[in-house]
Amino acid sequence: MATSSHSPHALRASSARCIRNPAAGRLGAAVTLALMLLSALPASRAHAQSDDRAVTAVVMHFFDGMRSRDTALLRSTVVPSTVLVTMSATTGLGDPAPIDQFIDRVGKGAGPGGDEQIKDPKIMSDGAMASLWAYFTYTRGGQTVINHCGIDLFLLRKGPDGWKVFYIADTHRTEGCTPITK
């Protein structure tokens, strides 16, 4: 009588082989564990990609708020205690500025806001903290010439209200700025 590999007889025979050969039992357990871990990878990778997209979206909404001078949109992307710091090749590390000063300055301006563009953002995350690092260019509102460029660094935390920026730092230079094409 032929037995199916799923029949009770075949399972008993397989179990008996594992009992007689403990190494086979350990190998089987190791293979099972490896398969379980590998099956979890696509889910964790998908979760990480989802977080990366969410982090990028928050930063892009921040820039949308700058362009449109929408202080409510800007505030929706940050925690109230967010700090901004600029590093310049000529003046060094600037004084930390509260986000409210920046948002108030953007909101009081007239005409279109400045256009900040980023290229090839690099996102790193660990649990509830993420960073976005990217080359940027900044063009003043209504103008077409790049005013300055550098590196943007956004630190974000994930809370009950989603991803929010809690720290912004950037370098600032006026030479060697490469335009970013959309």
DSSP state string for 135-177: EEEEE-TT--SEEEEEEEEEEEEEETTEEEEEEEEEEEBSSSP
Pick the CATH number of 47-172 from 3.40.630.30, 3.40.50.10470, 1.10.10.10, 3.10.450.50: 3.10.450.50
Domain ranges of the chain: 8-40, 47-172
Q: Identify the residue with better confidence: 7 or 53.
A: 53
Whether the predicted pLDDT of 100 surpasses 70: yes
**% residues pLDDT > 70 (the chain):** 74
The residue-averaged pLDDT of 136-157 equals 97
Q: Identify the residue with better confidence: 88 or 105.
A: 105
